[in-house]
Structure 1
């Protein structure tokens, strides 16, 4: 349709990209990957289970079969594949939850406002919805909040083994996760290394944390749960502070303020362990082996957060340096997650 040379093919894949993601969203939102776990089904049976029209559903499923998400068998029968199994959402946090969070309608509405926000400086999400991302998702839309929580837990679970292979959190007596949501990361750390934990996030973010931590087998005295605002004050008592993707939501001025609060909360030999996907410098590979393209993800952050975006290693180094920290080491985990360890300047 768009030409046969490699350049036009590459652009065609980009142009058709949203068709694919929307087909994935609809099928996953209907629970079709869940249904096919128990065996192949006719399109008629799937339509009955999902309250959809047979013929229109068939067109959607056929497209996804052509993409390898489902397998189509004779008689308009569809079966699960390795891809669809990754989209199952009726068990533990999965790529399906991440898909549903990233592609649900409120997110699409925000991206539609990106062009206007470039001209006005407004946040695209706020242009679309009249309120910020966290008010909309976390306070007023519980289903979207649940998707977000599961999506973040999925990202943590995917990276955790590689992280623990290269970084020893057992060197610290107490680790505080700032911006840790319901506590997926701190639960992994406490269980693996036997240290104490502190979970810090906004009060409405940590409401469900005690129940979640208990469900992960974490004793109530192993992790202290604290609600507050990282721009204002952080609790003391930790020898290390971890922040996973947290600084991405802040503009430069607010990010420096958060880092300053970290400095105030830590003892003289305390460390900040930043867990972040770094935007590569010019000339470096732009895509990680897991498919993450940080430069593109940075646009997503900009769409949803005022001044927030994914940064380069040098940008993070500068942020911390101007807030009283020095970079000790950078450790690549083999995934899109990188460890940057900072100590206080003397």
Structure 2
């Protein structure tokens, strides 16, 4: 009788273990989409952190020769956009620095859009120095794509995708063709694979969205020979809408953050078992890097003295923190080095 009782207890224990393992497997499966999303952004972060010339804008012809003539009204517009950019980055930093895992889990609801909008405002300020004062998202994406292709961005963020549906080409990521894994990148090959996959899936989603938009409107829908609205697209049909895709760049990848918050996708992320602290750190460092690149161009456009004045006029909570640090540690040395190099070449 005692042996039978022990056997039943052992059986119950094994059943509990099996049940626990099943629950863990189920949790992991549900966490895969969120983990993939984290892997993609970690790949972007890794690619920036391990690049040799990430901050060497002074060797880039587009930066060296960048000196637009700006009107006072343009500079005022730039100041407004930068304030929005920095205020949003400040909010993102405040969340990331709190560090509580449970808080960071729920904070995805607002940190996703914060990361996107901080870069968006900085990008708009950068575009304004070209005379492009624009808040239309599609126009901003097209202009950004052209700047990336023309070489205005340093190597770690200069990648982009082009091509028609199911025939996408990833540029400036020579190792992007391989299939990425489900683990965080620990080497350049995996980081590039993650970014390449992110570019392709993002471009595919955007292409499908354009098709949906076109085909739901009788005025723009493509039709067959009978005049019926097409349900399925062939390669030829995809080619006809390819011009609307433009280039897929870092900005499209960041836009996925904004899109995620509008759908049930964000709820799956919040419920997933991933490293939320790492996710926030990746987003913050990507945002910080992109904002620095845009700030460097803006500072060169308006002049270092004017840029310093813009920073000094900011509220204390911004002017004496990360914005000032980027100015003194990165932008000021960069501009002085670039100016010195230009003088030497002129001589």
Report the TM-score range of the alignment, normalised by the length of the smaller protein: under 0.3
TM-score w.r.t. the length of structure 1 is 0.24
The TM-score with structure 2 as length reference comes to 0.24
* Structure with bigger gyration radius: 2
